Amino acid sequence: MRLIRLTTENETCFFESIFNSDLTIKPYSKVALSSFTTQLDNLNMVIDSQNNEISYTVDGDTNAKTLTLPNGVYTSSDVNNFWLETTRLFNASMSNAVNQINRQWRCSILGGRAAFELKSGTVVTPLSVASTNLFTTKNLITGGAGGGKMKRATAGIGNDAFLYIKSPNNKGASSLRSTIFYDDEIFFTQSGFVLGYTASNPSVTTTVINPTSYLYAIRYVDLTQPYKIIINGVETATIITPEIGDIITIDIFGGQIYYRIYKSGSPIVISLYNNNIPYDHQTDLYPLLLFVGSDTTMYNTQFTSDPYYNITNTITGPNVVDNNLTIVPLPNKQAETKCFLQFNSPDLATVLGFKKSRYPDAGFESKAEPTFLAELPFSLRDFSESYVVELLNIKLDSMDSLTQGQRSILYLIPQLSQIKEHVVFQVPQLIFLNINNRDELSLREIRARVLKNNLTQFTCYGLSEMVLIIKEKDEL
């Protein structure tokens, strides 16, 4: 009977122990695990090609969407980047289907546990009672049914009359739109309005807002001139001529920004710009409707807002009407959505603290705002409920149902997750397995590894140790 000590400093617990002389193993000898020690890395989370896929569906999806999460070894200093990028991937995958517009994902730690939330933002209709605290106006005349009509209050041309919405855009599928309602001075060469997004609130006191300060916008001059688009402050003319009743829209979904027009009474979409305008689904964009001419009236302006945003900014100055909001408003009631969340690797579910791979177990969960919350606290320690000890160059007759075949599995170490990061495991009773060798083996190295129970790697640090006992066929 011989004791063989294997050691490694490999961070995935791969053993490749080399000896100075041959290790002779007689035919049909037996081997057993005696002990195993390691230190689980409690400062990182490993996401790789074996555990980086997650699927979900919401109303409007024909098929489930599968997302590839960002690979990496995440520590306490950068694990927030994992959640930010995962949130971005979820939101960028939303479409402009009716039941997906105005829904926004947030993937984060909620009460110490991993959470995947899907919420609806407030559909802001400026000047309506429901949206009183969400916007600021300056130099505007408002009125009409529901307060939905707006025009410049002072005569002439300028760029100091505006409507600014204080919530940023919904980071899922969002829309900003308004309708040309009336224009009786069609011969202005520099009039009309600009509808679009800025990078921050205008912070206006007595200054004016320049149309070139927009990141993304559509400009209407008058009924005789084509629409213009603004991208990063640069204005470009289109070939589409405006008409009264045009619905002017900036839609964001699927990682792109779209400039669109809907003609009155027509469901057909007219694109004002056919090149790609990428959007990261993270950057805050603030809607600003700027009135340049005095007699252009806008109607039924709507905007889909960020449901997770606390609005605290105020704007002051002459002719400014501002109602400060210090809490997130209640969202518009939205219909329930059929939704499920699935971790395509059991390891990913375990890493994030979920006990199951799919929620619900079958079918869909019907809620207006579903939240998938892990059962277990989120921890960066890379542990498993049990660990598999496998010999790589000593053949055993073990069978594994997960891979549906033969593997040289020596031992299953249970419940290491109940031990803290420093693992010291002593086999309570030696269990010898037959080595499948009809002839004598002569080895200069022994290769072995320890895996999670789903046969994926885990991360450890420092010196890991494995002790084997080998005895001959008839040895007691």
In this prediction, what percent of the chain has a pLDDT beyond 70?
83
* CATH class of segment(s) 2-42+382-471: mainly beta
Q: What is the pLDDT of residues 220-243, one digit of tens each?
A: 988 889 999 999 999 999 999 998
Q: How confident is the model at residue 16 (pLDDT cuts 50, 70, 90)?
A: very high
pLDDT of 325 higher than 70: no
Which of 367, 372, 313 has its CA nearest to residue 342? 372
* CATH class of segment(s) 123-322: mainly beta
Output 304 or 312, whichever has higher pLDDT.
304
Which pair of tokens denotes residue 126?
A: 């400026």
H or E stretch at 91: helix 79-92
Output 463 or 263, whichever has higher pLDDT.
463
Q: How confident is the model at residue 460 (pLDDT cuts 50, 70, 90)?
A: confident
pLDDT of 327 higher than 90: no
Which strands form 441-452's sheet, in the order they lie side by side? Answer: 14-25, 441-452, 386-391, 409-414
Backbone phi, psi, residue 62, to 5°: -75, -40
Distance between CA atoms of residues 28 and 434, nearest Å: 6
- 296-306 burial code (b ≥16 CB/10 A, e <16): bbbbbbbbbbb
Question: What does the pLDDT read at residue 261?
Answer: 93
Q: Which residues are bridge partners to 371 per DSSP?
A: 117
Question: What does the pLDDT read at residue 182?
Answer: 59
Q: Which has the minimum average pLDDT: 136-140, 261-265, 277-281, 284-288?
A: 136-140
**One-letter amino acid of 192:** G
Q: Which residues are bridge partners to 297 per DSSP?
A: 182
Which pair of tokens denotes residue 88?
A: 């971005």
Question: What does the pLDDT read at residue 131?
Answer: 46
Provide the H-helix boundaries in 10-63.
Answer: none
Question: What does the pLDDT read at residue 146?
Answer: 44
Question: What does the pLDDT read at residue 329?
Answer: 38
272-286 average pLDDT score: 94
End-to-end alpha carbon distance in the chain = 9
Output 162 or 154, whichever has higher pLDDT.
162
Question: What does the pLDDT read at residue 318?
Answer: 47
Q: What is the pLDDT of residues 242-271, one digit of tens each?
A: 988 889 999 999 999 999 998 877 778 899
Report whether 31 contacts 470 (CB < 8 A): yes
The CA distances from residue 44 to 47, 71, 358, in Å, are 10, 13, 24
Question: What does the pLDDT read at residue 10?
Answer: 94
- Non-local (6+) Cβ contacts of 394 within 8 A are 25, 31, 408, 435, 441, 443, 446
Q: How confident is the model at residue 136 (pLDDT cuts 50, 70, 90)?
A: confident
Question: What does the pLDDT read at residue 187?
Answer: 40
Q: Which has the minimum average pLDDT: 62-71, 154-163, 240-249?
A: 154-163
pLDDT of 472 higher than 70: yes
Question: What does the pLDDT read at residue 60?
Answer: 63
Which of 379, 386, 448, 439 has its CA nearest to residue 413? 386
> Tokens 């499920």 sit at which residue?
340
Torsion of CA 93, 114, 363, 119, to 10 degrees: -60
Q: What is the pLDDT of residues 178-205, one digit of tens each?
A: 888 754 444 444 468 899 999 876 655 5
Which pair of tokens denotes residue 35?
A: 């002990």
Output 123 or 276, whichever has higher pLDDT.
276
Q: Which has the minimum average pLDDT: 235-244, 289-298, 466-475?
A: 289-298
Q: Which residues are bridge partners to 107 per DSSP?
A: 116
Provide the H-helix boundaries in 257-364.
Answer: 346-352
pLDDT of 85 higher than 90: yes
Domain boundaries, the chain: 2-42+382-471, 45-121+337-373, 123-322
Per CATH, 2-42+382-471 and 123-322 having the same topology is answered yes
Which of 324, 327, 329, 306 has its CA nearest to residue 314? 324
Q: How confident is the model at residue 129 (pLDDT cuts 50, 70, 90)?
A: very low
**One-letter amino acid of 83:** W
336-353 average pLDDT score: 89
Question: What does the pLDDT read at residue 53?
Answer: 95
Q: How confident is the model at residue 330 (pLDDT cuts 50, 70, 90)?
A: very low
CA atoms within 13 A on the CB side of 299: 15
Report whether 168 contacts 91 (CB < 8 A): no
Which pair of tokens denotes residue 473?
A: 């066929």
Q: Report the SS3 class of residue 133.
A: helix
